[in-house]
């Protein structure tokens, strides 16, 4: 077999593998959905003061010690229209509050790695009585076609870990007095 034939077959195999990658990627699910809950000793008002104010999110939503030093994080406003944005080696994004109710929680629209809204999330409060509030954080969105389907599992896993830790920090902040 000549070098030309080997290269020709190698090219055909690589082209076939690339085509298979694209075809499979087009049919993989691209939606992620993560939901985590924690029970916090405190009031809805205490929780809402930290949740509905993006300027407070550094205290609980983000693990400031784990963020790369080059990450820029900014927050502005409270309640509806309040937002937090970030950019750095781990990516870029912005979350803007679209609803904020001290009794029920917040909702946001997110732009993750894009200038278009591709993410929706919410934090809901449910009074359990005896000074206990269940806080549920839900986040969902859609990754881009072809490559996105290959990363849904990674996205779900990473966000699950992140939100579990964030809710733990929120619990600590509320129970320490806000």
Report the CATH number at residue 46. Answer: 3.30.530.20
Average pLDDT over residues 11-16: 88
Average pLDDT over residues 82-107: 93
Total number of domains constituting the chain: 1
In a domain, 17, yes or no: no
Structural domain including 68 reads 30-175
In a domain, 117, yes or no: yes
In a domain, 2, yes or no: no
In a domain, 153, yes or no: yes
Structure confidence by residue, pLDDT tens digits, 108-121: 999 988 899 999 99
Q: Please, are residues 65 and 87 in contact by the beta-carbon 8 Å criterion?
A: no
In a domain, 35, yes or no: yes
pTM of structure: 0.84
Task: Collect all residues with Cβ–Cβ distance below 8 Å to 139 and sequence separation of at least 6.
Answer: 32, 33, 34, 35, 110, 119, 120, 121, 159, 163
Beta strands in the chain (DSSP E): 31-41, 72-76, 83-88, 91-101, 105-112, 119-129, 132-142
In a domain, 58, yes or no: yes
Token pair 């029970």 in the structure block, residue = 39
In a domain, 119, yes or no: yes
Sign of CA dihedral 139, 141, 146, 149: positive
pLDDT for 130: 95
Q: Please, are residues 98 and 52 in contact by the beta-carbon 8 Å criterion?
A: no
In a domain, 22, yes or no: no
Q: What is the mean pLDDT of the chain?
A: 91
Q: Please, are residues 65 and 58 in contact by the beta-carbon 8 Å criterion?
A: no
Number of H helices, E strands in the chain: 3, 7
């Amino acid at each position: 077999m000549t070098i030309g034939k080997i290269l020709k077959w190698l090219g055909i195999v690589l082209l076939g593998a690339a085509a298979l990658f694209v075809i499979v990627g087009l049919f993989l699910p691209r939606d992620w959905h993560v939901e985590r809950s924690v029970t916090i000793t405190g009031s809805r008002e205490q929780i809402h003061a930290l949740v509905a104010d993006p300027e407070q999110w550094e205290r609980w939503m983000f693990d400031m010690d784990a963020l790369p030093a080059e990450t820029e994080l900014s927050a502005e406003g409270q309640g509806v229209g309040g937002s937090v944005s970030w950019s750095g080696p781990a990516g870029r994004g912005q979350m803007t509050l679209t609803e904020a109710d001290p009794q029920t929680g917040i909702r946001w629209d997110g732009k993750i790695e894009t200038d278009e809204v591709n993410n929706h999330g919410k934090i809901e409060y449910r009074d359990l009585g005896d000074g206990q509030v269940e806080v549920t954080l839900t986040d969902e969105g859609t990754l881009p076609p072809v490559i996105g389907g290959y990363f849904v599992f990674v996205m779900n896993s990473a966000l699950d870990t992140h939100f579990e830790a964030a809710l733990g920090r929120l619990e600590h902040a509320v129970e320490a007095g806000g």
